[in-house]
Amino acid sequence: MTKQEFIDSIAAAAKKYASSYGIKVISPIIAQAILESAWGASSKAKYHNYFGLKYRANRVTCNNGYFEDGGSEQSADGTYTNLPSATAWYAFDSLDLGVKGYFEFINIANYANLKGVTDAKVYLKNIKADGYATSLKYVDNVYAVIIANNLFQYDESNEEKEESELSNSSLVSFTKISPNKSSPRNHAIDTITIHCVVGQCNVETLGNVFASATRQASSNYGVGPDGRVGMYVEEKDRSWCSSSSSNDNRAITIEVASDTTSPYAVTDAALAGLIKLCADICKRNGISKLVWSTDKNQRINHLNGCNMTVHRDYANKSCPGEYLYGKHAYIAAEVNKLLGVGTSTETNDSTNGALYRVQCGAFFQKSNADAMLAKVKTAGFDTYLVQVGCLYKVQTGAYSIKANAEAQLNKLKAKGFDAFITTKTGIAATVTKKSVAEIAKEVIAGKWGNGDARKQKLQAAGYNYSEVQSKINELFS
């Protein structure tokens, strides 16, 4: 294999799997493979382990056992330690599976800060901070490989495409948008509500049902008896599904084809399709795990992290039927396995390197997020904006110790902000800053208003007002 062939093979496999794991940047992954496997020539690459993935029981599922080999690690003081020659490493059957194994390996809570990152350097800094590599110069070394081999070209082409895919599930095989919806939803997506159709109808039939405006009903998604997924209301919009505006504004609603009589059973294929869909929804919306409770009070008040509700919570209905209701704990467990949280003990406070951030709101409209950001700043907090999927989140601080995050939370609450602690972050929204010339053109086009308001807006968005102004003068001269 030539070097270019190696790059192309790793890039193709990485592109194939990245989006389903929420990973948006390919170049650092190609560079990691180049560096870790010495262009596929290392002893570990013989087993298609291009990323130096040490074997950990129950972490990766696409491997074919493990092999034993030595290696070395660098300590904080710069010295190297040789690993025992009997160290276990993941073995894979092909390059494709070796790359898939990488994504499975990082698909745990500890590496959640990689999801959605579009900047190669940020990706590398995060993965180093997560404990992936021991080399002290890891970030610089891998980044140098990206530059030397012009790997950025593998990132650009699909950026726009993935952005739009992010807002809806790529599992959808049939789309028929219903007129029965409120657009956009007024709350961030943090809940899943599963319904039963009371009919074993396929996703096309369900689409026709919801296409009727007189029906006054819809759902975001439907799952047919064959497990296929249909979309009727985009995720950015609120479906009319659960007899509760507040629930439907925060939930993704899913109608699952079912029998017409109690217990309204669904097919195994539908159940499997539903689980996949739920995992996909969670990944794209920053829901780290599904939490079910058999206690209605916990469900409707979202207590103890509960983020699954049912139609019967809001109306005198049996929906989702005894069959699906009884499957909710199973669905949550299966989805969490796909999310890499399962029953593992990865959530230990001090050792997993997770950072606690305090969040003061999530918005679909950037202008609303900007307004909240300005408010929080005015109140004296150091705050920033991150983008997760189609949401802009206002966050402050990043604390390795939860107590510090709680102290910050209390300060924010004392000033009247509705805030909570999260370990999720996203792409720094300010990375999309435009050039002074672009902004100058926008100002001329009237997009930034006039006078003082314009000045304030530009400064709030992080632009140097006088720089923009002199560019405008230049353009007019």
Task: Report 166-205 residues binding Zn ion (CB under 5 A).
Answer: 195
Task: Considering only residues 288 through 307, tell me which ones interact with Zn ion, judged by CB under 5 A.
Answer: none
Smallest gap from Cβ 199 to Zn ion, in A, equals 12
Least distance from C-beta 131 to Zn ion, angstroms? 44
Contacts of Zn ion in 209-228 (CB under 5 A): none
Cβ atoms 111, 96 nearer than 8 A = no
Rounded CA-CA distance 237/240 in Å is 10
SS3 label, residue 438: helix
| Residue whose CB is less far from Zn ion, 9 or 193 | 193
Question: For 83, phi and psi rounded to 5 degrees?
Answer: -80, 150
Site string for Zn ion, 317-346 (x = CB under 5 A): --x---------------------------
> Closest distance between Zn ion and the C-beta of residue 319, in Å?
3
Integer CA distances (angstroms), 46 to 277, 325, 461, in order: 35, 48, 51
**Nearest CB to Zn ion, comparing residues 300 and 374:** 300
| Shortest distance (Å) from residue 197 CB to Zn ion | 8
Q: Which is nearer to Zn ion, 166 or 319 (CB)?
A: 319
Q: Does 312 bind Zn ion (CB under 5 A)?
A: no
Amino acid at 398: A
To the nearest whole angstrom, how small is the minimum distance from the Cβ of residue 285 to Zn ion? 21
Candidates 32-40, 221-229, 308-316, 433-441; binding stretch for Zn ion (CB under 5 A)? 308-316
For the bound state, the minimum distance from the C-beta of residue 410 to Zn ion, rounded and expressed in Å, comes to: 39
> At closest approach, how far in Å is the CB of 296 from Zn ion?
15
CB contact at 8 A, 292 and 329: yes
Q: Which is nearer to Zn ion, 136 or 300 (CB)?
A: 300
Provide, rounded to whole angstroms, the least separation between the CB of residue 329 and Zn ion: 19
Angle at 392 between CA 113 and CA 353, to 5 degrees: 20
* Number of residues near Zn ion (by CB under 5 A): 3
The nearer residue to Zn ion, 124 or 310, going by C-beta atoms, is 310
Cβ distance 220 to 249 under 8 Å? no
Q: What angle do CA 424, 346, 121 make, to 5 degrees?
A: 50
Q: Closest CB to Zn ion among 81 and 212?
A: 212
Distances (CA, A) of 237 to 253, 313, 378, 410: 11, 21, 31, 32
Helix (H, G, I), strand (E, B) or coil at 87: strand
Judged by CB, which is closer to Zn ion: 89, or 325? 325
| Contact present, 241 and 218 (Cβ < 8 Å) | yes
Edge-to-edge, what's the strand order for the sheet holding 191-196? Answer: 172-175, 229-231, 221-223, 251-256, 191-196, 308-309
Closer Cβ to Zn ion, 48 or 185, answer by number: 185
Interacting residue with Zn ion among 100, 276, 311, 312 (CB under 5 A): 311
Nearest to 272 by CA among 338, 319, 341, 344: 338
Binding site for Zn ion (CB under 5 A): 195, 311, 319
